[in-house]
Amino acid sequence: MERLPKKERHQRLARLIEDNPFITDRELTRLLKVSIQTIRLDRLELGIPELRERMKLMAERSFDAVRSLPLHEVIGEIVDLQLDKSGISIFEIREEHVFSRTGIARGHHLFAQANSLAVAVINDEVALTATADIRFIRQVKLGEKCIAKAYVRSSGKRKARVEVFTYVGEETVFRGDFLIVRSAGALQDGGGDRLADRD
């Protein structure tokens, strides 16, 4: 593929970052077929901050407060939350999250990020996971950043269905479909499977 003219490359770079504010410079080099120095210069010229700064800006933006669990119990850092609608969290895979021999992340960490985000997005004092249908799509390795995006697909008085997709860059690595029970149902009936098929 031939290199894009500078103006066109700038437009594409801006669009890629707008579509995914968490995209790394390395991923941009792969997509735009230029060196990392070129990406950094382009960002500078366009006034687009580096990834860490973009993440900080997103975290400082006002978003809804988590109601269903203490913030420190959410796995990953929430950077966007609209209760009963959607949410985004970032989780970096570190040494303590991987198998020591392979450097591959243990699956329960990916599940925990997605599950805690699915609960956090619910606008209620108490929200519990009743069922989860999950799929690991590819292995995640040490140092990779997992970006989980949760979408409330349906929401009733007693339960909600939340879909979560986790990405590393542009690639989907995990997906989950969660049935979350709200406090009205959870407290009356003890939560769990008995509520899974009722509204």
Q: What is the DSSP string of 104-158?
A: BBPHHHHHHHHHHHHHHTS-SS-EEEEEEEEEE-S--BTTPEEEEEEEEEEE-SS
The pLDDT score that the predictor gives to residue 60 is 62
CB 139 within 8 A of CB 76: no
Q: Are residues 138 and 178 in the same domain?
A: yes
Provide the token pair at 92. 């970096």
The pLDDT score that the predictor gives to residue 188 is 47
**pTM of the full predicted structure?**
0.71
Q: Are residues 110 and 43 in the same domain?
A: no
Query: For residue 35, is it within any domain?
Result: yes
CATH number of the domain where residue 120 is located = 3.10.129.10
Q: Are residues 51 and 69 in the same domain?
A: no
Question: 54, 17, 141, 59: which is closest to 27 by C-alpha?
Answer: 17
Q: Are residues 32 and 95 in the same domain?
A: no
The pLDDT score that the predictor gives to residue 2 is 61
Query: For residue 1, is it within any domain?
Result: no
Domain count, the chain: 2
DSSP labels, 19-43: H-TT--HHHHHHHHTS-HHHHHHHH
Q: Are residues 36 and 21 in the same domain?
A: yes
Q: Quote the CA–CA distance of 122 and 186 in Å, as a whole number.
A: 13
Residue-level pLDDT, tens digit, the chain, 199 residues:
467 888 999 999 998 888 778 788 888 998 899 999 999 999 989 998 888 788 777 666 656 788 888 878 899 988 889 999 999 999 999 999 999 999 999 999 999 999 999 999 999 999 999 999 999 999 999 999 999 999 999 988 899 999 999 999 889 999 999 999 998 655 444 444 444 434 4
Q: Are residues 100 and 35 in the same domain?
A: no
Q: Are residues 164 and 103 in the same domain?
A: yes
CATH number of the domain where residue 13 is located = 1.10.10.10
Q: Are residues 90 and 140 in the same domain?
A: yes
Q: Which domain holds residue 18?
A: 6-58
Query: For residue 51, is it within any domain?
Result: yes
The pLDDT score that the predictor gives to residue 59 is 63
Query: For residue 131, is it within any domain?
Result: yes
The pLDDT score that the predictor gives to residue 185 is 52
